[in-house]
Structure 1
């Protein structure tokens, strides 16, 4: 057993993100969550757009109207040039000038409304996709999420969603407006004279080659950068979350090297992206030069031949000059589109994953709180089994402590019973029903797992408690808190049950957070409770308070405790000792101490570590 300062199941750096029995490696391999293909991503987006067809059509119509009105500016300016050349006088300029003012106002209003509608459409579609992503992420098999690592899922739900939201609010309206401006301007050039359109097309090959050069490189770099960012975030969570274990096992240098390596990879990819953007814009400048030179030469030749007026040539030049910003914006936004597209594919990849496998038909319900494990075996990595042929029979209402040295398989056994992992071999029955027949949802209804890592959700204390039972009244919430000895400090909060806790609210202590988890257990009223080191982080005094609270929370239900403190194990009805993934001893505290086996050695070591030296007593 490890001492209080080094909880034996604090997160260790492992190949699979597990913490009990999984081998650690210098280059952890994670089964990252999938990324959707381009075709699959487009199919999902099209499906979401069809749900908001009216808004999409309205947005497009308003933007087209605004862009079309704005294109009248160049012909009006050309008309003014012709009037000046023909010496039409100031009176002749009145109508074109008034029209220019009207065009500017109408274009501004229509463009603003159109962009607003496009942004609203994007936000609506993003909200649908976000809800779809969250709904599926919450229903993914827990083992799949653990294999991917917390950093991968966290990066998608934070960084990827943020990036897409920024693209929807800024890039999407700008891109839509730029694209329509380009298309309608080309139509306007053709209306002025088809030869102006041909002159403009001289720059098209440069644009096409630029995009073809840029897109494949950008897609690869941005996709790799998102993965590298996720790997960096995963490593930060591992290193910071398990800092005590990292220090205890003298892994500080190794974790620092891993952080430096993954930070360097992310920085290198970001720098490559910046170099790519610089090359991209240098090519666009060359295209602008070629296009403008071509349109001026064409205008000169046509005016000289008498085919068009100076005003028409001026309008053509203004049209092409007006394309600079839209083309640059559209092509530059490909940069944002590639990055957002990579993030979008990562969200769609998760939202398209199959949900947890549920049994066909109506699953049977457990008849009681008994737990039976037969021939259970499990391995996180092939060839490195963590549990070997484990048999365990827990009677309904019995309290059993799982004891053993670090890496013995205690947490793995608890997670298998709770349905976090599927066993490699053997069976688990809850209340006489095989867990495969119950399905993941049935197992969660029957078993509540409380670990040393308790999350306090942002909201009032009452809302946090009602996560366990949404229909619970305030009296039932207070009764649950009182049952685990937490009502006193809950009433002492500034606003009692209405006090906002969690992120941005009142900060609960470790002991209070565990009290909250135990109160949730009482409200859930699951027949089986698993306490995995639930008192490990509370310190000696807090641990004793929580041990009492845990015993009260387990009243009337079957309890399995992964015991960090042997005095807690001594209070159990029965103690099961694991070593090397096998059950080596079982019995009461007194029986095992008298037997002189593994448990007796652990108890002796624990007692010696708590015995005061004679010099101190004197």
Structure 2
């Protein structure tokens, strides 16, 4: 089964929730005060009804009845007013807490190392971003205020019952064992069940996302039945997980119903004896029964929302767990030297026991251009990702001026080393915003210079609104009102971002693969001029990149089999020379064919 992102422990969830609630003490105190006032106003009703019964029993005037009736109406109005403002204040507090939770989650999600995300798959993070955050929003908006109200109302109702007569509060104990035992049984099983349920949803999302993204490949290979079977298996696991939590609820809720109905019956039964023995008046018994009946609503709320609280706690554990995947700042500071990068005895595996890199040694001088070539699957991209700090070697080390690359804080690492692959993304917004996101203070002249460096200035200024044109989408239908960029333009945009970011080391993994070969060579030479003085590691199948590099590393079977300048490797007559002759001959034939087509 695919590894998932970490999940926070119960202790971490409690600490975070407590810290978040106590961050707004005045708002929390105000909400508690208003709910308390609403509860006090509501508690006057049973006492007034009890007094009315005693007055009528003893014989009273119409004026007294009218006065008590007006007092009851006043309690209802006051209770409604306090409840309205208490709900408003609680809702505002909940929205403020929710906003902070969302901001915190975004920062946590953006700090997840790419290697961790690749192992876990995007489905798990997507489920936490959507379903878990939405569940948490429901808990914060509704469950927390309702539980707050239930606790305040329940506490005041029990207090009023004791003030009415301690003996009348005794029947309450009959419901305690049932509620306590049922709640304890439920809480011991619910957290794990809801975590398993959410993980099952993540598997479904992950499988569907893979199928949709690779729909053409699935169709070409005829693996529709296999993908459908995978989805069916995921749904079955999800069904079993939901079935388990449903079974918990079908046991817990009936027990809870019995637990808070029993005290009402017991109070009526005991109250009858108290009245017959002269220990309580009929009005006191009536008020006691009403107070116990009033307890049913807060207890019902508390237990009903307790289930929602368990779901929310499980979602909060998954949301907080994203932060556990952050790179830990070990106090390592960025290198202060010239930027010598060195790989020593580097071994790496995606699956335990199956290394894809075997003892790689490589040293890069500051400002050197290195081209990595070799057959597909040889380990070029993997080595490039290690040199970019995306992955940590299984054994060995990759350092910059003696500092272990993977030990740098994530934000500092990204400033030091940048990776550009065939994968790219155009964010919804203006072209300028897509570029300046890597350097918000960049001027228009700097933006235009970056676009010119990647041969993109002409088409950029030719857009309807120039740099202010809304873009979004690459090679697909754009968002309404936005212009879609072609895959080649999106790749140029990614390279222009790189020029603006200006890191000291760049790893280019087929970074110009979507651009016409002749235009790509011109682009790479333009980039070389702009990025002069920076270390560049170019992974490419087009060998003109190797021809223009200072050195060429030939990667075969997870090892560097040849290393040296282009002309020396060609003269050596080894693997690189064979690649060069094969590629050069193929490129010449393509050029001749294109020339023939143009001539005709």
The TM-score normalised by the length of structure 2 is: 0.85
Partner of 2:374: 404
Please give the secondary structure, in 2, of the residue aligned with 1:449: strand
Structure 1 residue 466 corresponds to structure 2 residue 429: no
Matched, 1:212 2:184: yes
State the Cα deviation string for residues 121-161 of structure 1 (Å, max 9, x = none): 34434444444444444445443443333333333333322
Structure 2: runs of 5+ lacking an equivalent:
474-478
Checking the alignment, whether the CA contact within 8 Å between 2:417 and 2:507 is kept in structure 1 is: yes
My pick for the range that moved more, 418-427 or 521-530, is 418-427
Give the alignment partner of residue 151 of structure 2, picking from 179, 201, 214. 179
Which residue of structure 1 lines up, in the alignment, with residue 96 of structure 2?
124
The Cα of 1:297 is off from its aligned counterpart by: 1.9
Specify the alignment match of 2:200 in structure 1. 228
TM-superposed CA distance for 1:55, in Å, is 2.2
Aligned residue in 1 for 2:500:
523
In the other structure, the counterpart of 2:476 is none
Match of 2:527 in 1: 553
Superposed CA deviations along residues 26-78 of structure 1, whole A, max 9, x for unmatched, are xx442x33323222322232233333222222222221121121111222233
Separation in 1, partners of 2:372, 2:322 = 36
1:477-529 Cα distance to aligned partner (Å, 9 max, x none)? 22212322223333344443334444856244323322221111111112322
- 81-90 vs 443-452, which moves further: 81-90
Post-superposition offset of 1:335:
0.7
Structure 1 residues not aligned, in runs of 5+: 1-27
Mapped to 1, the partners of 2:248 and 2:408 lie a distance apart of 53
Map Cα deviations across residues 355-394 of structure 1 (whole Å, 9 max, x no partner): 434454x5432425x6443433222333211112223344
SS for the counterpart of 1:105 is helix
Q: Deviations over 1:526-545 (max 9, x none)?
A: 23221123344x4x65x765
What CA distance in whole angstroms lies between the structure 2 residues aligned with 1:242 and 1:575?
34
1:428 matched to which residue of 2? 398
Instruction: Determine the C-alpha separation between the residues in 2 that align with 1:289 and 1:120.
Output: 34
Out of 584, 587, 598, the position equivalent to 2:561 is 584
157-166 or 250-259, larger mean C-alpha shift: 250-259
After superposition, the C-alpha distances for 1:211-245 in whole angstroms (9 at most, x for unaligned) are 12322222221011122223333334444445566
Output the CA distance in 1 between the equivalents of 2:520 and 2:88.
Answer: 54
Check the 8 A contact 2:551/2:565 in 1, yes or no: yes
Is this contact kept in 2: 1:363–1:437, CA < 8 A?
no
Q: Does the C-alpha gap of structure 1 residues 357 and 200 become closer, same or farther in structure 2, counting only changes over 3 Å?
A: closer
State the distance in 2 between where 1:201 and 1:237 align. 53
Q: In structure 2, what is the equivalent of residue 54 of structure 1?
A: 26
Whether the aligned pair in 2 keeps the contact of 1:414 and 1:562 (CA below 8 Å) is yes
Distance 2:403 2:160 in 1: 74
SS in 2 for 1:530: strand
Query: Residue 16 of structure 1 aligns with which residue?
Result: none
Give the Å deviation of 1:419: 0.7
Partner of residue 510, structure 1 = 487
Aligned length: 584
Map 1:103-252 to 2 at 5 A: 103-243=75-215
- Describe the shift of the 1:81–1:462 C-alpha distance in structure 2 as closer, same or farther (beyond 3 A): farther
| 2:275 is the alignment partner of 1:291 | no
Following TM superposition, by how much is the alpha carbon of 1:164 offset from its aligned partner in structure 2, in angstroms? 1.2
3-state SS of 2:32 partner: helix
Mean Cα deviation higher: 109-118 or 348-357:
348-357
Aligned counterpart, 2:338: 367
Residue deviations 1:540-578 (CA, integer Å, cap 9, x gap): 65x765564454334323322222555665665554321
1:45 aligns with 2:22: no
The alignment yields a C-alpha RMSD, in angstroms, of 3.5
CA drift at 1:175: 1.1
Counterpart residue number, 1:378: 348
The equivalent of 1:10 in structure 2 is none
Contact kept in structure 1, 2:338 and 2:366, CA below 8 Å: no
Contact 1:119/1:172, CA 8 A, preserved across alignment: no
Range 578-587 or range 138-147, more displaced: 138-147
Mean CA deviation greater in 250-259 or 329-338: 250-259
Deviation of the 1:177 alpha carbon: 0.6
Contact 1:239 1:246 in 2 (8 A): yes
Specify the alignment match of 2:285 in structure 1: 313
Tell whether 2:320 aligns with 1:343.
no
* Separation of aligned partners in 1, 2:368 and 2:219: 37
**Alignment CA distance shift 1:485-1:190 (3 Å):** same
> d(CA) in 2 for partners of 1:175 and 1:29?
37
Aligned CA distance change for structure 1 residues 288 and 390 (closer, same or farther; 3 Å): closer
Per-residue CA deviation, residues 301-347 of structure 1 (Å, 9 max, x unaligned), is: 33333433333333222223333332222101111111111122233
Change (3 A) 1:433 1:39: closer
Deviation at 1:186, TM superposition (A): 1.7
Larger relative contact order (Cα-Cα within 8 Å, sequence gap ≥ 6): 1
Distance 2:217 2:427 in 1: 26
Q: Deviation of residue 352 (structure 1)?
A: 5.2
User: How far apart, CA to CA, are the structure 2 residues paired with 1:287 and 1:432?
Assistant: 67
Aligned partners of 1:406 and 1:473: how far apart in 2?
A: 41
Is contact 1:515-1:549 (8 Å) kept? Answer: no
Cα separation, partners in 2 of 1:547 and 1:312, compared to 1, 3 Å: farther
8 Å Cα contact 2:2/2:119 also seen in 1: no
Which range moves more in the overlay, 277-286 or 202-211? Answer: 277-286
Question: How far off is 1:450 after superposition?
Answer: 0.8
Offset of residue 606 of structure 1? 9.7
